[in-house]
Structure 1
Amino acid sequence: MKALFTKSLVAGAIALSTVTTAIAADITGAGATFPYPIYAKWAEAYKAKTKTGLNYQSIGSSGGIKQIKAKTVDFGASDAPVKFEDLEKDGLVQFPAIIGGVVPVVNIDGLKPGQLKVTGDVLAQIFMGYIVNWSDKQIAALNPGVKLPNESITVVHRADGSGTTAIFTDYLAKVNPKWKEIVGSGAAVKWPAASSIGGKGNEGVAANVNRVKNSIGYVEYAYTKKNNMTFLEIKNQAGQFVAPDDETFAAAAAGTDWSKVPGMGTFITNAPGAKSWPITGASFILMYKQPENKANSAEVIKFFDFAFKEGKKMAAELDYVPMPDATTDFIRKNVWTKISTK
């Protein structure tokens, strides 16, 4: 599976990064790094089938919103949903494309993936700089029998505007009142921990966690797998410690009725359910109702229609969760019909 993932990601990255001006139908997008691995895989398969390429810039959600507003790409991508009133003001539509999980990862010698357990409250205290050592009594109480190093914790966070950060901080604000009061939530926040470093994109956070001993960061699960990182188990709303995978992401998303949310934009963090991964989120696509390049917008719709119909297995292989059929049917009938493509 690892070899398959690496091969597909490399091939997909080539497909995404190559701009072929000779093919007018090639489409462009920019934004979230959270879904980049699956967009790369979908792009590879779509180009093999249709000869149409995708140039996707994995620059972070804030960058994707800026690019679509500047009309320099055919679609923007953001893990932080845009508010309905802002969509209406700017003449945009929004729809979720994929579901995945944000995962806390650590670099601690001797620890196996899932061996260390935390609550949301403890996780928030670590990222606030209130818990500064791995041997802290609150961590030790949750992990009897686990050898914890008497070492200072280095927090690794995103340095760019990030939907992954928006999902992560939305969760922390829900489970820790102090976090909500002092730090808040959003694509970019002021990180309070004294010992902290930033990284650009999920790629940068993963690289810094792997580089810095006794560090902790947060990345989308595909990056955890790709980089063989040590993830933590988290106690969910139901009081169960769970590990991240496609089943726990699906459990978290199961109760969301996207059709009832204006603009389809909602966070699904801290969801109920015994099997729910508490830091689950969707990644969203932004397009203009009246695009300047109607042909390219039509091709973007064809690309995501292909992804919804034929990309489910690819998504599962990377531990993403495909959008439910009822949701994709709603998108076709109620979102894509608002986009002028002729």
Structure 2
Amino acid sequence: MTSLPGFKRAASAVVVSILLTACGGESTDTTMESPTGLQVTGAGATFPEPLYQEWIRRYNAKQTEAHFVYEGGGSGEGVKRFIAEKVDFGASDSAMTDEQIAQVARGTTLIPATAGMVVLAYNLPGVEGELRLPRDVYVDIFLGKVWKWDDPRIVAANPHLDLPSKLIQTVVRRDGSGTTFVFTNHLGTISPTWLTEGPGIGTLMNWPGGAMTGNGNEGVAHKIKISHGSIGYIEYYFASRLGLPIATLQNRAGNFVRPDAESGRRTLEAAATAGMPENLRLFVPDPEAEDAYPIVSLSWLLLYGQYPEPAKATALKAAVTWALDAGQPIAEELGYIPLPANIVSAASRALDTIR
């Protein structure tokens, strides 16, 4: 399977950090405060959660002006808490819709903070080697139309593999999820059938074919890990951390591409150069480049346009500025896509508008 440089060492550090948090150790323990008593809380997407936890661990260790805390739970939950003003910042892999933004009296600023790849991880004991999935095939797997691993279309794309006559068990998200939005937005873009016969595009779907469900990227990854014959969509980090095999997917140009940070960065850079929206909601559901991995997405921080506490606004702007600069190499270490310079510049300009 694919691995990115430095991933294993850095991923281990994050796992330790998260375990310390769960066990009441240091890292992002919500009982800890800065000497000034200023605590900044956030919630939302699980797609970038390992990265955000590592950023927070390092940033809290280097400054004492504020203590940052982040809780996953899914993009839907993050947007919900942000609109209700129960957090200081949210996080979402699907950004926010105009209708959602209109509900925020203090204004909303969307900041692209990182990017990643949604991959199809699977569990096929005894099947060794690269599993290739053509575009129409993985659409039909999640439509419930391709339901056995030795289906002739899968076999034709993988003559080098001894595929079993075993039922395919899809694993999907149970919660409102930006990862689900990214995946279904891709499926709906490449397949009209997905829109007419499938569940469509969104963050919470009614999946066909008796899909197995899990909460968060972590929950889906663990379901795949323990379920023979399964396949599910998750963020690259989670598949790599658990050692799950990852399918090689066919892109728009007809090439089979594994997830790769450099090809992802080039995809985003080209998309931003072609036209970065003023609200920074840049989606790339079906990149055109010959070497592009087909499912790449930005992930956004949700910040208020105005904060009643000036110190909180100052602390957030300083932390996000650090993340857009020093935090990007850390993102690449963990298997995320470092933001290209043109997106960082646009994000920094948006950050400057916050008061």
TM-score by length of 1: 0.93
Q: Does 1:120 align with 2:120?
A: no
Mapping of residues 296-311 of structure 1, within 5 Å: 296-311=312-327
Partner of 2:354: 339
In structure 2, what residue type is equivalent to 1:5? A
Q: Does 1:223 align with 2:235?
A: no
Q: CA deviation at 1:120?
A: 2.2
Q: Does 1:82 align with 2:88?
A: no
Mean Cα deviation higher: 319-328 or 119-128: 319-328
Unaligned runs of 5+ in 1: none
Q: CA deviation at 1:138?
A: 1.0
Partner of 2:279: 263
Partner of 2:305: 289
Superimposed CA distance per residue, residues 218-271 of structure 1 (whole angstroms, 9 cap, x where no aligned partner): 110011111101100001011110001212322321212287313111321210
Query: Partner of 1:231: helix, strand, or coil?
Result: coil
Mean Cα deviation higher: 263-272 or 45-54: 45-54
Q: CA deviation at 1:103?
A: 0.3
Cα distance in 1 between the residues matched to 2:149 and 2:29:
40
Give the superposed CA RMSD: 1.8
Counterpart contact for 2:40–2:69, Cα < 8 Å: yes
Cα distance in 2 between the residues matched to 1:307 and 1:337:
14
Say which of 146, 151, 157 aligns to 2:161.
146
Cα distance in 2 between the residues matched to 1:213 and 1:101:
23
Cα distance in 2 between the residues matched to 1:294 and 1:217:
43
Say which of 14, 32, 39 aligns to 1:26.
39
Counterpart contact for 2:10–2:334, Cα < 8 Å: no
Cα distance in 2 between the residues matched to 1:211 and 1:103:
18
Say which of 60, 66, 90 aligns to 1:47.
60
Cα distance in 2 between the residues matched to 1:144 and 1:100:
30
Misfit runs of 4+, over 3 Å:
none
Q: CA deviation at 1:87?
A: 2.6
Cα distance in 1 between the residues matched to 2:184 and 2:226:
24
Q: CA deviation at 1:311?
A: 1.5
Change (3 A) 1:3 1:146: same
Counterpart contact for 2:135–2:250, Cα < 8 Å: yes
Cα distance in 1 between the residues matched to 2:330 and 2:174:
30
Cα distance in 1 between the residues matched to 2:89 and 2:59:
17
Superimposed CA distance per residue, residues 144-197 of structure 1 (whole angstroms, 9 cap, x where no aligned partner): 121101000111000000000000000111111111223111111110113x11
Percent identity reads 32
Superimposed CA distance per residue, residues 291-329 of structure 1 (whole angstroms, 9 cap, x where no aligned partner): 233322321221111111111221111121222233222
Counterpart contact for 2:268–2:340, Cα < 8 Å: no
Cα distance in 1 between the residues matched to 2:215 and 2:14:
23
Aligned length: 337
Query: Partner of 1:16: helix, strand, or coil?
Result: coil
